[in-house]
Structure 1
Amino acid sequence: MRSNGGVTEQRVGDPLLTAVTGLLEHPLAGLSDDRVTELLRDVERSTRMLTALTNRLTVEVVERHIPARVGAHGPKGFLMETLRLSSQEAGRRIAAARSLGTWHDMAGEAHEPQHPRTAAALADGDISADHASRIAAVLKRVPGSTADPEFEAAEQVLAEHACTGSPDDIAKVGDAILAYLDPDGKLTDDGDRKRMRGLMIGHQRADGMSPIRGEITPTLRALLDPVVAKMARPGMNNPDDPESPSGDCEYVDREAMVAAAARDTRTAAQRNHDALVALLQPGRSADQLGSHRGLPVSTILTMSITDVERAAGVATTATGGTVPLAEALKLAERSQPFLMVFDHQGVPLHFGRTKRLATAAQRMALIASVRGCTRPGCDAPASLCATHHVTDWIKNGPTDIDNETLACDHCHALVNDGPNGWKTVALGPDSTHPGRTAWIAPPHIDPTRTPRVNNRHHPGELLAEAMSRIHHRNEQHRQSPKQLQRPDKHAA
């Protein structure tokens, strides 16, 4: 409240301050665990929506020239002085308002944000400021201008992914999108990669250690990843554990495998190091590494017939990487070929089996179609995944390709019938993703228990869908520009 000539006025922000003050004073001891979790979600959503409001207010400050009127050193200086912000935080807020705010021209006409889908998701409380800033960082690398359909499609895919994923995943999804937007090497071509390749091992220090640095080509990465996937698996080749499996050992006893992994306290970097030590032991080669999760330790490439016909694009690997098509075809010349056939939804055709364990052919089909862990938000590639029965084997779930999917060891262990367990279901023909595996989160994560799919490993499909919607919308505008209104902020 404030007094104006003896009349008490309510400030615009008073209801907000009153509500927050009330929550701060509200006792929490009497709340159940479910109520505490519910309040935590509500506070987070409100915080995100307030961030969108902050962007609106920042736009008002700039467009009204308030900093100049009060003698501040620009909008950034105004925010630093008025809100006691650091230089970095004030700069971040200005940048966020530039990309997510609705700005006006000299005539007063409003222009939608540079990143409209991201702005809408933030205003709805579906994503955080961290999500939005990481989306903006990826979009800076997208070739072309913000008016290009490819840019719009990339922004849509990133914003939609952010609504169900972690900010930590945004850069990884962005890398996959950029690989599809730049299949012919416009950003980095084969000549650039040849020039940049190299490994440097520094001088050995007095303590015996040697530094190593460098950059490796997609081909070397594709060849190295499957070896590391097996040799550097938790519990494998652990020099501090005499019972650790090593060499070309296959995990026959799952309990022993789990026990070795539980004893393994090494970091990922240390496991990679120990894997190379094991690989380079005298008398051992990559050809003698046996199998990993039922398949030979080798590079598995997936490419579309469309890309092969036009001699452009990228092949994907079972470890989640990409290889330019020309290099992938060279690798394929020396490989044993397998042919995988899929239906129109990208689901591999039926491979019926009566035993519990998936066959090598079934696993190959899953690698080619599913590509990685199917739990929403997980980025584990196929090489780190087990074959999972969507309907469990002990519940009469068949070992058929339409009842199998991929799940990494961590996510696989989350599936159970307990109150905090995850569930998996196969989506029907009327769903958006027929044949795909959807996961149902426990109530503390998603009270609605909505089945959700993981699109992390299918950026090409998401881009194609977004591009199709954008082209359809633009065609409608072109044919009937006067009758059609600007689409809703949630529409493509």
Structure 2
Amino acid sequence: MPETFLPELPQELWRAGKLELAHGVRQFLQVMRVASAALGQYLAEVESRGAKDLYGYGSTITWFADVAGLSFGEARSVVNQAIALNPTRALDGSEVAAFAPATAAVAAEGLVGHERIQQILDILRRIFADTSVEDRECAEKILATLARDAGPRQLAKAEQDLLGWLDPDGNEPKEPEPAEPRREVTLERRKDGFWKLNGLLDDELGARTAAALEAYATPRPVDEFGQADLRTKAERQGDAWAELLDLAIACPDQPGTSGYRTLVHVTIGLDELKSGLGTACLDFVGTMTARDARMAACDCLMLPVVMSAAGEPLDVGRLRRFVTPGQRRALNIRDRGCAFPGCHRRPKNCHAHHIDHWADGGPTDLRNLVLLCGFHHRLIHHGDWQVRMAADGLPEFIPPQYLDPLRRSRRNTLHRV
């Protein structure tokens, strides 16, 4: 085991320059890795002597889990790696060679971390099945040497190259049987009110899903006010999923909706619906804020059940609230997309927003409707922007005072070029 010394830690770390910080990180990282390799030698020796004889434990893994305060799974990963890298002894005292001695030598130098070592071990187990001892040793030396500077993708590429070298002819070709598509989706509601979506898609459906999400998850361009899209990729894909659902729900052939966007019921008190304060019951299983309920009612995403203070249903989704397919076509022709200034989203990605809110008695006619994408729909409901219908019958927007002290009206000119 190479002799190592702990690097000196500056007393005032905040004074350190960037090179000193980087040097310190590399030094401590090497010390940790060297110590991890030395720990593996101790664990291999415990395995050789037997944890039961030494400490009364059934296995080295359970003993180490207790000593280190780890879970069984965490301890198993460390112990199994230690046994693979170091020689042990059989019951008769004969030495059992290490599975990956070349990798152990690189690990002892502190140049390779736990994850890369595990990746090498996994690769070796996959390619060692039908190879000679000489080929195995050569393949391991290639991987161990490469791991000094390589990342996970380079090691995976090396595995493919090694497979091609060890078996240039490949497996005997067989006529593949057509596989049944494997598609699994689960949806469950968590205790915090969020829904957890899990899925397993076959390659073909996975590629289609990725392409659809990518098409709708592109970052919004910087608008005329210099505001960039700050959403993470996961957040953009979540919004893309919502848009794809909106498109499917609005399809005329969608079962149970007939082209209307109503999907679930939201129960809310009359006072809460008018004020936007408080909460609403979502499909009898969850809750949402009254402000979100007002926005959802705008474009018929939900069917509101309005209750009096005494709990009496006052209104179950007045039909005049719905934007008819004919009105929607007229809106698409008039606004040609999201009407918010600088927005490029097309009509199919937009909601029909009631300018004078439906909950406040606003009518569902073209003079009171405007197309807004999901992002700008939320901005109008929850922000300081305002929208109104101008004298020429086209929507215009009033910015917040912090953007324009004079609050001069603005329009989207992108769709009318």
What is the TM-score of this pair, normalised by structure 1?
Answer: 0.37
Structure number with the higher strand fraction is 2
What is the TM-score of this pair, normalised by structure 2?
Answer: 0.42
Q: Please identify the structure whose Cα radius of gyration is greater.
A: 2
